[in-house]
């Protein structure tokens, strides 16, 4: 609609201008035709009686001039006439002649006048045209005749001509508008049809067979080239990325070095049950989802805040516990935080300050000096823990997320040769936004202790480099994607995070049909129900309210889905000591109640809100049962739920509706990409999703699965480790070169 308005408004404005110009041009032309016509008629009228007029004017025969004039004004368009003697005196005039046009008013006092003296005037409200026609007797001028023409007929004709012109333009405008809308619709349909065809076909094997569509060969070629490149790289360096390949590259590049991960959230929590027993829980965290398989592959130590109620009871005297329970692949080292530390560092600076600072999701950051003190203290405590856990001078330390911005520099100060790889799991703000944080410089300096600093997207890298440029004295090497401070270099690159592939959770899940049957039964839905699913922590960045409103809009616009479509939202309570999170929790609850109240009928409710911390197995059951998964984040570094949905669908069914404000939208381009704020667009995408033909679902899902399989989390970790190995190698070479003549041998050793 807006597109039509954008085209129609200027078109109609141009037509209105043209109509205006055409009417005034036509008026002017018509007016001059009428005037010429009148002048000719006046001359003809006079010349018909010229001889009689000349002799009666010469003899000033007033009595016989009158009838002559009466005969002339018999023409209905002539109001009156006067016969003027050679000196300009009125010799005779008809009754209707207006006084202002008597001979003495029109002619010069000496009776001279110009030949064909014509002018326009107004009498009362009536337009008139006055002609003065000289009458000659042989060679002398005998006098003149003044004729006053009634021009109101011309005005009437002009008005009707104007009306006609405007009517013609009106019809043209309507036709043009109609044709414009029609042609736009036709061409839009053509485009969307073509684009759909190109995207669908180019994702599947059909692309190579088909030669239809103008972009198709190009897109298909690009995709083919991209996967050939990836395949080539895989062949050259040991096959597709997997846990085994990651282990091999770690062995090759960092002989004997164990990996130490520093992340606030622990991968396994021990919780005390009400009956006194202990249960193991998996937290809802994208970071944990991604990193846990990497740690299973690499082994080593994960240092995290011990936040489970039975965590202290399950560690040894070094605060270690081996995990995963029963598999014992790596060590979890727990760090204990006091209430004040947790409030200031985790709830305060990290989640009331940095989290809203980095997400454009309309929550104001709060920066308290006391929180900053705790943040610094806790960062120091984790850096201490790293130094306790490592065994050599150049360990591999993977620092995770916004909880530990100061840790890289703290480690660097104590272990100058450490390979510190930091990954920032959330967006990085613009330099301007970062400027609102009173601790911006310290955060940047802390992060630049890293050898490699990773973000999900190039945009976040660019924002980071701009921030360094704005707040620090540093050299930015844009080509080498690095920052150099004090002669030491940190690579700043994008490494889009992913999940494990083959995916453990998907592989151990029951068959899709079984998941669907059990989920529908659990929700009390009929077997042919259509099911939408959302999986999130209750966080204001996830767009949960917008998602529910889109479901409401879907039911408004598609009444036939009422009683048939149900959206189930798995919502894990999160950070609930923070006011903004409590508000969201209540807001979501109230919204669900309102929408359910509006549409519920019999036992059917459109929305099922399942709060709680759902284990990965439970989440996968829902993902496998769903017809559509809607990920509606308002701003998200990546969002791994989108990739998990893809991993869950080994049946190549189900449609992903994905917010364009997620990092995942840059990779999963076969999803239905939407603006979650635009409820019309989002609900239309949901409607498209639930009616999408099976073949199209398969083509889209197959393409997305192919992508996630290739760009899995082992590749993510492997690329960062490879870059860190290169940084280390460069550092060693330049150390040796600066050591003098012996250095040449050493360089040869390295190359040899
Ligand atoms: C985001 C952060 C993670 C965090 C997760 C869960 O994904 O990037 O670092 O673990 O949210 O939040 P929580 O505060 O419960 O750890």
Whole-Å CA distances, 350 to 263, 360, 379, 407, 743: 13, 16, 11, 14, 45
pLDDT over 90 (residue 55): no
- Across residues 91-101, what is the average pLDDT? 85
- CB 285 near ligand 1, within 6 Å: yes
- Across residues 151-166, what is the average pLDDT? 81
pLDDT over 50 (residue 217): no
Residue-level pLDDT at 551: 98
- CB 427 near ligand 1, within 6 Å: no
- CB 289 near ligand 1, within 6 Å: no
- CB 282 near ligand 1, within 6 Å: no
- Across residues 218-245, what is the average pLDDT? 66
Confidence band of 227 (pLDDT split at 50, 70, 90): low
Residue-level pLDDT at 216: 35
Q: Which two tokens stand for residue 644?
A: 């998990």
> Which has more confidence, 96 or 425?
425
pLDDT over 80 (residue 544): yes
Dist CA 585 CA 591 (whole Å): 10
Q: How far is the CA of 475 from the centre of ligand 1 (A)?
A: 32
Assess contact for 262 and 407: CB atoms under 8 A.
yes
- Across residues 279-286, what is the average pLDDT? 97
For the sheet with 396-400, list strands across it: 320-323, 330-335, 301-305, 259-262, 396-400, 419-423, 452-455, 488-494, 482-485, 475-477
Which of 171-180, 324-333, 499-508, 668-677 comes out lowest in average pLDDT? 171-180
* Ligand 1 atom closest to 283 (CA): 15
Closest by Cα among 181, 190, 94, 183 to 145: 94
- CB 639 near ligand 1, within 6 Å: no
- CB 426 near ligand 1, within 6 Å: yes
pLDDT over 50 (residue 750): no
Confidence band of 166 (pLDDT split at 50, 70, 90): confident
Its pTM stands at 0.71
pLDDT over 70 (residue 186): no
Confidence band of 230 (pLDDT split at 50, 70, 90): low
pLDDT over 90 (residue 157): no
pLDDT over 60 (residue 749): no
- CB 286 near ligand 1, within 6 Å: yes
Mean pLDDT of the chain: 88
Q: Which two tokens stand for residue 306?
A: 């011990």
Distance of CA 424 to the CA centre of its chain: 23
Using the CB atoms, write b or e for 403-418: b if 16+ within 10 Å.
bbbbbbbbbbeebeeb
Q: Which of 425, 576, 613, 664 to mutate to test the pocket of ligand 1 (most atoms within 8 A of CB)?
A: 425
pLDDT over 70 (residue 441): yes
Confidence band of 124 (pLDDT split at 50, 70, 90): confident
Pairing of strands 488-494, 482-485: antiparallel
- For the chain, what percent of residues have pLDDT higher than 90? 64
Q: How far is the CA of 286 from the centre of ligand 1 (A)?
A: 7
- Across residues 462-479, what is the average pLDDT? 97
pLDDT over 80 (residue 608): yes
What would the pLDDT profile of 627-676 be if each residue is shown by its tens digit? 999 999 999 999 999 999 999 999 999 999 999 999 999 999 999 999 99
Residue-level pLDDT at 206: 35
- Across residues 454-479, what is the average pLDDT? 97
Q: How far is the CA of 578 from the centre of ligand 1 (A)?
A: 14
Q: Which residue has the least CA distance to atom 7 on ligand 1?
A: 286
Q: Which two tokens stand for residue 442?
A: 């310290």
Residue-level pLDDT at 680: 98
Pairing of strands 607-611, 628-631: unpaired
């Amino acid at each position: 609609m807006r597109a039509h308005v954008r085209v129609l408004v200027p078109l109609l404005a141009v037509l209105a201008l043209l109509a205006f110009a055409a009417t005034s041009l036509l008026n002017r032309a018509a007016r001059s035709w009428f005037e010429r016509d009148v002048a000719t008629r006046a001359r003809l009228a006079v010349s018909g009686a010229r001889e009689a007029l000349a002799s009666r004017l010469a003899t000033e025969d007033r009595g016989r001039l009158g009838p002559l004039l009466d005969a002339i004004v018999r023409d209905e368009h002539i109001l009156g006439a006067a016969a003027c003697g050679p000196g300009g005196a009125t010799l005779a005039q008809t009754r209707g002649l207006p006084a202002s046009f008597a001979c003495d008013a029109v002619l010069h006092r000496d009776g001279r006048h110009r030949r064909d003296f014509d002018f326009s005037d107004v009498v009362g409200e009536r337009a008139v045209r006055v002609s003065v026609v000289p009458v000659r007797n042989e060679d002398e001028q005998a006098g003149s005749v003044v004729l006053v023409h009634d021009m109101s007929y011309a005005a009437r004709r002009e008005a009707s001509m104007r009306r006609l012109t405007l009517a013609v333009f009106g019809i043209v405008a309507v036709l043009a508008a109609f044709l414009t809308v029609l042609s736009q619709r036709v061409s839009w349909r053509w485009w969307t049809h073509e684009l759909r065809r190109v995207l669908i076909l180019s994702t599947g094997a059909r692309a190579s067979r088909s030669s239809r569509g103008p972009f198709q060969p190009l897109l298909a070629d690009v995709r083919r080239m991209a996967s050939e490149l990836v395949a080539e790289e895989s062949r050259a360096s040991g096959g597709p990325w997997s846990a085994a390949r990651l282990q091999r590259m770690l062995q090759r590049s960092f002989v004997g070095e164990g990996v130490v991960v520093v992340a606030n959230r622990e991968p396994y929590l021990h919780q005390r049950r009400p009956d006194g027993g202990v249960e193991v829980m998996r937290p809802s965290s994208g970071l944990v989802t991604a990193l846990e398989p990497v740690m299973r592959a690499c082994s080593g130590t994960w240092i995290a805040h011990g936040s489970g109620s039975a965590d202290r009871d399950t560690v040894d005297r070094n605060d270690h516990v081996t995990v995963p329970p029963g598999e014992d692949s790596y060590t979890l080292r727990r760090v204990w935080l006091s209430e004040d530390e947790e409030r200031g560092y985790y709830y305060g600076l990290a989640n009331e300050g940095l989290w809203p600072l980095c997400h454009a999701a309309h929550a104001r950051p709060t920066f308290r000096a006391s929180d900053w003190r705790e943040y610094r203290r806790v960062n120091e405590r984790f850096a201490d823990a790293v130094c306790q856990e490592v065994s050599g001078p150049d360990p591999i330390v993977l620092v995770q997320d916004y909880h530990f911005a100061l840790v890289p520099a703290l480690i660097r100060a104590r272990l100058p040769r450490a390979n510190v790889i930091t990954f920032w799991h959330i967006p990085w703000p613009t330099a301007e936004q970062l400027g609102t944080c009173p601790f911006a410089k310290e955060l940047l300096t802390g992060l630049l202790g890293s050898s490699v600093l990773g973000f999900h997207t190039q945009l976040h890298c660019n924002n980071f480099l701009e921030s360094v440029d704005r707040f620090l004295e540093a050299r930015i090497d844009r080509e080498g994607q690095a920052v150099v401070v004090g002669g030491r270099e940190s690579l700043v690159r994008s490494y889009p995070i992913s999940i494990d592939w083959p995916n453990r959770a998907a592989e151990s899940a029951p068959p899709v049909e079984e998941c669907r049957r059990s989920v529908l039964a659990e929700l009390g839905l009929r077997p042919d129900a259509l099911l939408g699913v959302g999986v999130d922590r209750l966080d204001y960045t996830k767009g949960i309210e917008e998602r529910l409103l889109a479901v409401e809009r879907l039911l408004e616009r598609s009444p036939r889905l009422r009683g048939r479509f149900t959206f189930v939202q798995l919502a894990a309570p999160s950070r609930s000591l923070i006011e903004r999170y409590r508000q969201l929790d209540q807001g979501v609850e109230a919204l669900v109640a309102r929408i359910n109240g509006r549409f519920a009928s019999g036992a059917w409710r459109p929305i099922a809100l399942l709060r709680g911390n759902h284990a990965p197995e439970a989440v996968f059951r829902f993902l496998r049962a769903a017809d559509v998964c809607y990920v509606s984040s308002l701003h998200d570094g990546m969002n791994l739920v989108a990739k998990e949905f893809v991993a869950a669908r080994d049946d190549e069914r189900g449609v992903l509706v994905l917010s364009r404000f997620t990092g995942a939208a840059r990779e999963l381009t076969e999803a239905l990409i939407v603006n979650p704020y635009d409820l019309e667009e989002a609900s239309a995408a949901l409607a498209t999703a639930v009616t999408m033909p099976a073949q199209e679902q398969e083509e889209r899902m197959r393409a997305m699965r192919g992508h996630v399989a290739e760009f899995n989390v082992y590749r993510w970790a492997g690329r960062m480790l490879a870059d860190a190995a290169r940084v280390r190698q460069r550092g060693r070479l330049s150390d040796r070169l600066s050591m003098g003549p012996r250095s040449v041998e050493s360089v040869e050793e390295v190359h040899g």
